[in-house]
Amino acid sequence: MSPTFRGGPRKAPKYWAVKGTHKKQSYRAHSMQVHVYGGVCRYGKSKLLFVTGTSGQDSNYAQVRGKYKGAPYDGVCGAEYTKEVLPVLYGDAKTIFRTPGVDRWAFMQDNAPVQSGGIPWLDRKRQMVIDDWPPKSPDMNRIEHVWAEMHKVIRKQYTKNPSLGLTFAQFKERVKSAWKRVCSISYLRRLTHDPITRLAEVRGMKGGMTGH
């Protein structure tokens, strides 16, 4: 549900220089990155949300230490997830399921502490929720396949043109474009096809990778 995509060089390249001379090479010390949340199901996808962890996007929530507020979080905290992420994902899900007339559906998230903090919010909505999903289960957690496909799309664009100079804003647009391109209805239908067979294969592999 929340991968990190990175863009730009990580460190300065090495080069030869005449002894006694020094050539300065400008470079970005740390690559820029985006941290996103999104949801998918058989019938469609939610909005893609850029959250704390995205370069230049500081948290609006401060760490509380006793009676005092400390520095802002450097990643997504429970308050941000519950107040800014969960309502959007839940609202989009209700809209998506309303179109095909699906009345009963479950909101699935893994058991990461940040996401577990949203359980009371979902309970108040009387929403069925699967909250004990393993955080690392690529063959059963469908969103992990989506993140992998998006990474392939973005990486392929850079491989074709390694000298491609993108601003960070343009890089974010590439990520949003990849989300839209990957999450086609045909792809989501294939991704959610025959879950019983997939579960049986995962159990047979004792949690290992399957052929899906």
More confidently predicted of 207 and 107: 107
Residues 6+ apart with CB under 8 A from 171: 7, 8, 32, 34
More confidently predicted of 136 and 169: 169
Residue 90 — very low, low, confident or very high, per pLDDT cuts 50/70/90?
very high
Residue 34 — very low, low, confident or very high, per pLDDT cuts 50/70/90?
very high
Structural domain boundaries of the chain? 4-10+29-204
Q: Which CATH class is domain 4-10+29-204?
A: alpha beta
Residue 158 — very low, low, confident or very high, per pLDDT cuts 50/70/90?
confident
Q: Which of 84-93, 120-129, 172-181, 194-203 is least confident?
A: 194-203
Query: Above 90 in pLDDT, residue 27?
Result: no
pLDDT (mean) for 128-150: 80
Query: Above 60 in pLDDT, residue 191?
Result: yes
Q: What local confidence, expressed as pLDDT, does residue 198 receive?
A: 77
Query: Above 90 in pLDDT, residue 2?
Result: no
What average pLDDT is seen over the chain? 83
